[in-house]
Amino acid sequence: MNILMLNWRDVDHPEAGGAEALTDGILRHLAKQGHQVTLFTSRPPNRPKISRPSPNYTIVRAGFSWSVHLLAIWYWYRHFRHRPFDIIIDQVHGLPFMASWYTNKPVVIFIHEVASSLWFLLVPPPISWLGYWLERRLLTNLRHQNFITVSPSTKQELVQLGLPAASITIIPEAITLPDQPSQPNKDSTPTLIYLGRLVAHKQIDDLLLMLKIISAEIPTTHLWLVGTGHPTYINHLRQTINKLNLSSKVTIWGHVKDNKKYELLSRAHLHVTASPKEGYGLTVIEAATQSTPTVAYDVPGLRDAIKHNLTGLLASPNTPSQLAHATLALLKNQPLYRRFQTAALRANQQTSFSPSTAVFTAALNQTLASRYLTRPRP
């Protein structure tokens, strides 16, 4: 196949997350299998316009995350229209590219999560109101397309928007482990780790409030914050940490390389997150491979990644006090904690991209076989 994917970010974008990591892994495997792959995405500062991760895999960058959707139309007519693409993958993050409106190729929609209420955490009104309405309107318009997603939660939300369940394929999540795996060796004092982007909508303030509660019972507890973040928000976190008198209990690692990431995961006792929503929760798998269970809110995506009362705990209602209660339940009960460690590791031993790519490829072939194009435009 000759494949064109449209996505707002690639894995080298400064704000890339789990969705971009999964996408890159699948595209690399498709290219390795002999498919021709082109990714069109935004171009952050200091990134080349064109790069080739492998002989069959090309990345073309232009514009910003907020302008790449419009630039995709221009690029289609200026550069891509006469190229022999067999299929287009329209990846959705908040808004689809609506490639089926201006191309004559079969289109598959790839979506990790429906943003929905996240719009109100990401941007202020009235932009949030417009984004919320527009996302629902456009996804509903695409109900005749085939969809690929990563979790039952996202599939359920799409079905609630009126999309037929039979047209939605769920692919298994996958990660790339380091060449030299870490040997789990937990720190001598209770250590919690948050892994992900350091951004406001991940509700990291809730983790700080959780830590304040936990410290009253286990004063030696420490929290590590690992991930990229804008200096303004990191400064906010530092101010909040000082206000809560937690400066000796919190370490902001920021961005670390993969080997260091897995070293920290292997040393931490629990992975914690207060995210209000995820497509799946790739960090849950990453932590589990290091025998580190996860405690999280009971929200879409995370409730798919965590087997409650087996590989981790889902706190409900979604409050810092409940998150603290669940975390303490494991920190204070070593036999229970060790059972969770074993279960988390066993449940996440399959991390290869091969199964994900196989299901992904089957979904593309299904669309090609049926020539399942969008129905008449509104």
Instruction: Render pLDDT for 225-252 as a digit per residue (tens, 0 to 9).
Output: 999 999 999 999 999 999 999 999 999 9
The whole-number pLDDT of residue 342 equals 95
Query: How far apart are alpha carbons 178 and 321 in whole angstroms?
Result: 35
Could you tell me the two tokens for 112?
């990790």
**pLDDT tops 90 at residue 48:** yes
**pLDDT tops 60 at residue 369:** yes
The whole-number pLDDT of residue 375 equals 45
Task: Encode 340-361: b = buried (16+ Cβ within 10 Å), e = exposed.
Answer: bbebbbebbeebebeebbeebb
Mean pLDDT rounded to a whole number for the chain: 95
> Which among 94, 165, 147 has a CA at the least distance from the CA of 359?
147
Full 3-state SS string of 121-166: HHCCCCHHHHHHHHHHHHHHHCCCCEEEECCHHHHHHHHHCCCCHH
Query: How many beta carbons lie within 10 A of that of residue 113, not counting itself?
Result: 22
The whole-number pLDDT of residue 180 equals 67
Interhelix angle for 353-370 vs 18-32, to 10°?
70
Give the DSSP H/E element, type plus range, for residue 25.
Answer: helix 18-32
Q: Does the pTM exceed 0.85?
A: yes
Instruction: Render pLDDT for 169-215 as a digit per residue (tens, 0 to 9).
Output: 999 999 988 776 667 789 999 999 999 999 999 999 999 999 999 99
- Domains with residue ranges and CATH for the chain: 2-174+353-370 (3.40.50.2000), 191-347 (3.40.50.2000)
Q: Vertex 44, ends 38 and 45: CA angle to 5°?
A: 130
Instruction: Render pLDDT for 78-99 as a digit per residue (tens, 0 to 9).
Output: 999 999 999 999 999 999 999 9
**pLDDT tops 60 at residue 374:** no
Instruction: Render pLDDT for 284-331 as a digit per residue (tens, 0 to 9).
Output: 999 999 999 999 999 999 999 999 999 999 999 999 999 999 999 999
Q: Which position has the higher pLDDT, 370 or 40?
A: 40
